[in-house]
Amino acid sequence: MTLRIITGAALLALLFFALYFGGWVFSLLWIACVCIALHELFNALKNAGHHVLAWPTWFALIIAIPGFLLLTEVENLLLLVILVAVIIFVIITLIMFRDDPSLDDLMTSIIPLFAVALPGMSLLGMTRIEPVGLQRVMLSLAFFIPVVGDSLAFFVGSKYGKTKLNKAISPNKTIEGSLGGLVGSILAAVVIYFIGLLAGTNVPTVINFIVLGLLGGIAGQIGDLFASFVKRHCGIKDYSHIFPGHGGMMDRLDSILFAGTLVYFYQALPWI
């Protein structure tokens, strides 16, 4: 337990460091995290016996990184659509021409693209938000909506949880914990809103932050359940053991990747 707390504190300190300095510091750290998580997911699927085709997704990531660091937000969205279409076409074509083509291998080859690579690039795209103050606010939402939600879900679920959320995927999660997590996500978004105001940042209305907290909290919980679903399918407890007491990078990023993607697309809406 002590090691878990120390590791958690170190990860939280690293997150504050990355968000404070932003720019290239955040970008480089985030790219490294996404690459590790992507490797862990592919590795879990391979070890479970799936003949996944990994290189098209890695190729898309290599192409997308400079684009999301240098292009405008509209250009990034266009790049995202084109990359998704091309990579899916390539994966489908290459697997169909295998000696023993399998729909199962096709699906498991596409999953990491949508679960890690594209969400990862969405958060990277938020480094293009101007001004810098608003960028920090949006990145903070992407991280703290799921992190605070996860923490409150664990606390409420541990004390008051009775009704199982999905016994087949994650027997320890409860509906009571899930609702507590959503409250935590909304509270995190509202706190970030007021911090942004105090810092003099021109932020969207508090209603937008409440909506982001709710939707981001839901997305984060879906990401957490998805990661648990894959782990149960692969017969593993954690994706790796690089963080003592916390598992692997994918174990830490599952909810952040899904919630962050929602924040990215929500803030890109014209009325925000």
Give 145's contacts (C-beta < 8 A, 6+ positions apart). Answer: 185, 188, 189, 212, 213, 216, 217, 220, 259, 263
Predicted pLDDT of residue 69:
75
- What is the average pLDDT value for the chain, to the nearest integer? 89
Q: What is d(CA 34, CA 127) in angstroms, rounded to the nearest whole number?
A: 15
Please identify every stretch of the chain with a pLDDT value under 50, giving residue numbers as ranges: none
**How confident is the model over 214-263, as pLDDT tens digits?**
999 999 999 999 999 999 999 999 999 998 877 899 999 999 999 999 99
pLDDT at 72: 65
- pTM given for the model: 0.91
Contact criterion met (CB below 8 Å) for 220 and 150: yes
Which residues, 6 or more positions from 113, have their beta carbon under 8 angstroms from its beta carbon? Answer: 56, 57, 60, 84, 87, 88, 91
Q: What is the distance between the alpha carbons of residues 114 and 120, in angstroms, rounded to a whole number?
A: 9
